Amino acid sequence: MQLLKDRILSDGKVLGNGILKVDGFVNHQVDPLLMDACGREFAKRFANVGATKILTAEISGIAPAVTTAVHMGLPVVYARKNKPITMPDQVYLTLAPSHTKGRMVELIVSPEYLENNEKVLIIDDFLASGATILGLVRLAEAAGSQIVGIGALIEKSFEGGRDALASLGVQVESLACIKSLDNGKIEFVD
């Protein structure tokens, strides 16, 4: 998606160690028009998967998941990283490594919002190693739900995440696919 690629080139910052900083328009500060365009594109690409719910991870996946949900007419559930007192005692919980936090984080979903037999579309900000998305897959499967598709705003193809998801046998889409961040330069897959 050229609009997203252009924004990554103009406002994204390569911090080294494979980290691309896009928090000026994706999560810490959100560009709602850009996220709306991304959501519209995801809705088009996943129009025929039969999703009944969208699942993402707190916090960075919320903006693209919500705009996708608006265009698909679906609810969004996001996996929390901390369990609030309002959540029931019995929850779905898994651990996933966070590249930007440099440690394992909890992903928690209440069974109230992820039920048996849902058809789940996962939308997240990044597809890197695939570890966070696989954590979301484990949560959905623990609920008895089926994954029907996976979308990421930005894929870092050099981290192998797409290969890690291949065994799921579902449609995987990224709106901007980066092949290299070497020497501080953002290079997209053609």
pLDDT per position in the chain (190 positions), as tens? 999 999 999 999 999 989 999 999 998 999 999 999 999 999 999 999 999 999 999 889 999 999 999 999 999 999 998 888 888 889 999 998 876 677 888 999 999 999 899 999 999 999 999 999 999 999 999 999 999 999 999 999 999 999 999 999 999 999 999 999 999 999 999 8
This prediction has a pTM of 0.95
Q: Which of 155, 159, 150 is nearest to 177 (CA)?
A: 155
Number of domains in the chain: 1
Among 63, 55, 20, which Cα is nearest to 38's?
Answer: 63
Q: Residue 158's pLDDT is what? A: 96
Mark residue 18 as left, alpha or beta (left: phi above 0; alpha: psi -120 to 50; beta: remaining): left
Cβ neighbours around 101 below 10 Å, total: 9
**DSSP string computed for 117-181:** T-EEEEEEEEESSSHHHHHHHHHHHHTT-EEEEEEEEEEEGGG-HHHHHGGG-SEEEEEEEEEE-
CB 55, CB 114: distance < 8 Å = yes
Q: Which domain holds residue 167?
A: 2-188
What's the CATH code of the domain at 90?
3.40.50.2020
| Maximum C-alpha span of the chain | 47
